[in-house]
Amino acid sequence: MAETASKRRGLPYVLAAVGVLCAIAIGALAYANERGTREVTSEVGAEQVGDGVHLEFGAQRIEAQRREVVTQLRVVPWGALATDQDQTIPAKNIVVELPLATTTRMELPAGDRIAVKEVRLPLSDGVISDYPFDRYTVQLLAEVTVDGADIPMSVSYTDYDPFYLSRVTEEQVDAGVAYAEIKVKRSRGTFILAWFQLLVMWLLSLSVLAGALYIVRHRLGLPWPALGWMAATLFALVGFRNAAPGTPPVGSLIDYCAFFWAEAIVAFSIALVTWKGVRVTG
C-alpha cells in the first residue's frame, strides 16, 4: 500500500516533466519551421550566362516608422565584364540606375574595385498603427548599362531582418531593366509575441478587477499589500506594452484592443477599493 501511495505521489512530477519535454519539443519544431522562412533569397531576372551584371540586395533592417528598407547593394559583374575571379573589379564602365531608391545612380568605373553600397528603398501601402497586422509593399526598379548599352541582368533580394518576412510577388525583366514588387509583413515570432502580450494584459487586468471585487464584497477595508500589487500592475503594464517587438507607436491596434482597456480596468479597481475602503474604515 505504501509503495502504491508513493507511486501516486510521484506521478504528478513525472507528468510535469513529460509536459515540459513535450513543450520544448513543440517549440523546437515550430522554430525549425519558422527558421526555414528566414533569410530567403528571391531571384529575379536572367540566368548568369554570358556577359551581364547581377545586383544583390540584402535587406539589413526594415524601418516601418521611417517607411523605408535599409539594404546593402553589391554589384556583381559576370562573364567578360569581370576582370578577377572574385567578380569585384569590372572590365568596363557600369552604370546602375535606381529611380525608386534614395541612391538613384551608381557609376562603377572599369578597373576600380566595387564597394558595397547602402541603398534605402521606400515602403508604401501599409500603416504601422495596424501593428501587428501591418503589411507593406516595396517597389524595386533597377536599370543597368555598360558603356551606354543595355545588358542582361538579374536581381536577388534577401531579407536579413528577423522581425519581418519579405517575398517577391511580382516581377518583370526586360533588356537591362528589372522590376520587382516585394510584400513585407511581420515575422511569425513577432506576431505570436504580440498576441501573447494582448492576452497577458487582459489576464492581468481582470485578475486585479477580481481581487478588487473580492475586497469590496468582503468589506476588507484598505489592504495595503493588495493596493500595492494593483498599483504595481498599473505601471508594469506600461513597460510590458513598450516591450512589444518593433516598437509600435502609441495608438496602435494592440493598444485599442488590450492596453488602454487594461489600464482603465486596473485604475478603476484601485479607485473602487480605495473608495469602499475609506467608507468602511472611516
Return d(Cα 40, Cα 165) in angstroms, integer: 9
Instruction: Give me the residue spans of the domains in the chain.
Output: 1-35, 41-186, 190-281
Mean pLDDT in residue range 145-159: 87
Q: Which residues pair with 62 in a beta bridge?
A: 69
Return d(Cα 274, Cα 271) in angstroms, integer: 5
pLDDT tens track for 51-105:
888 899 999 999 988 899 999 999 989 888 887 666 788 888 899 999 988 888 8
Return d(Cα 278, Cα 270) in angstroms, integer: 12
Apex 239 CA angle, 235 and 242, nearest 5: 140
Q: 16 phi and psi, to 5 degrees?
A: -65, -45
Task: Choose the most confident range, by mean pLDDT, from 20-24, 114-118, 202-206.
Answer: 202-206
* % of the chain surpassing 70 pLDDT: 93
DSSP strand pairing (153-159 vs 52-63): parallel
Return d(Cα 238, Cα 205) in angstroms, integer: 12
Which residue in 221, 210, 207 sits closest to 273, CA to CA? 221
Write down the pTM of the prediction: 0.80
Helices (H) and strands (E) in the chain, counts: 5, 11
pLDDT of residue 265 exceeding 90, the answer is yes
Mean pLDDT in residue range 110-116: 87
